C-alpha cells in the first residue's frame, strides 16, 4: 500500500518535472524568436515599419467597425485612432536592439535545463549587446550608465 503511494507520487513528480522542462523550452523558444525578430528589425528597419503599419491598419479597421455598430461615437473613434497612430510612430522610432537584448536575456534565463533555444539566445545576446552598445556610444550615451528596466 505504502509502496504504491510512493510509486504514484514519484510518477507524478516525474511527469511534473517533464512538463516544467517542456514549458521552459517553449518559453525560451518564444523569447528567442522575439529576439531574432528585433535583431532582424535592426538590420531591416523597413520590416519594423511594415509590422507597425499593419497593426495600425487593423486598429483603425476595428475602430471603424465599432463606430459603425454604435459601440463608440465618432469623436471617440477619431481620438482612439489618433492615439493608435501616436503609438505606431513611437514603436517605429524605438531602437529594436534594446528589445533584442531584453528578449535574448529572457530566453537565456529559461534554463535549467539548458535548451537549444536558451543556448542560441546566449550566443546571440553577445552580438545584440555589442551592436546596442555601439549605437548608444555613437549617440553620446554612456552604455554602462544606460538602463532599460
Model pLDDT for residues 55-67, shown as the tens digit of each residue: 999 999 999 999 9
Note down the domain range covering 37. Answer: 2-138
Residue 100 in domain: yes
pLDDT reading at 3 higher than 70: yes
pLDDT digits (tens, 9 = 90+) for 109-127: 777 778 788 888 888 998 9
pLDDT for 32 beyond 80 = yes
Angle at 132 between CA 137 and CA 35, to 5 degrees: 170
Grid look-up 492615439 returns 83
**What mean pLDDT do residues 32-39 have?**
94
66 or 149, greater pLDDT: 66
Q: What is the pLDDT at residue 148?
A: 60
- Would you say residue 19 lies in a domain? yes
* 31, 121 Cβ separation under 8 angstroms: yes
Domain membership of residue 147 (yes or no) is no
Q: Is residue 27 domain-resident?
A: yes
- Residue 149 domain-assigned (yes or no): no
In a domain, 69, yes or no: yes
Mean per-residue pLDDT of the chain: 88
Higher pLDDT, residue 38 or 5:
38
Q: Does residue 148 fall inside a structural domain?
A: no
This prediction's pTM? 0.77
Given CA atoms 64, 65, 66, 69 in this order, what sign does their dihedral have? Answer: positive
Residue 144 inside a domain? The answer is: no
Structural domains counted in the chain: 1
Amino acid at each position: 500500500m505504502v509502496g504504491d503511494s510512493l510509486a504514484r507520487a514519484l510518477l507524478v513528480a516525474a511527469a511534473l518535472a517533464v512538463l516544467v522542462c517542456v514549458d521552459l523550452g517553449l518559453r525560451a523558444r518564444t523569447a528567442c524568436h522575439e529576439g531574432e525578430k528585433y535583431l532582424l528589425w535592426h538590420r531591416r528597419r523597413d520590416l519594423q515599419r511594415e509590422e507597425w503599419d499593419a497593426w495600425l491598419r487593423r486598429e483603425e479597421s476595428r475602430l471603424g467597425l465599432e463606430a459603425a455598430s454604435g459601440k463608440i461615437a465618432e469623436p471617440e473613434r477619431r481620438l482612439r485612432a489618433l492615439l493608435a497612430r501616436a503609438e505606431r510612430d513611437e514603436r517605429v522610432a524605438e531602437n529594436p536592439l534594446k528589445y533584442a537584448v531584453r528578449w535574448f536575456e529572457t530566453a537565456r534565463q529559461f534554463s535549467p535545463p539548458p535548451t537549444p533555444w536558451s543556448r542560441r539566445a546566449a550566443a546571440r545576446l553577445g552580438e545584440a549587446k555589442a551592436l546596442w552598445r555601439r549605437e548608444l556610444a555613437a549617440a553620446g550615451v554612456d552604455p554602462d550608465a544606460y538602463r532599460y528596466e
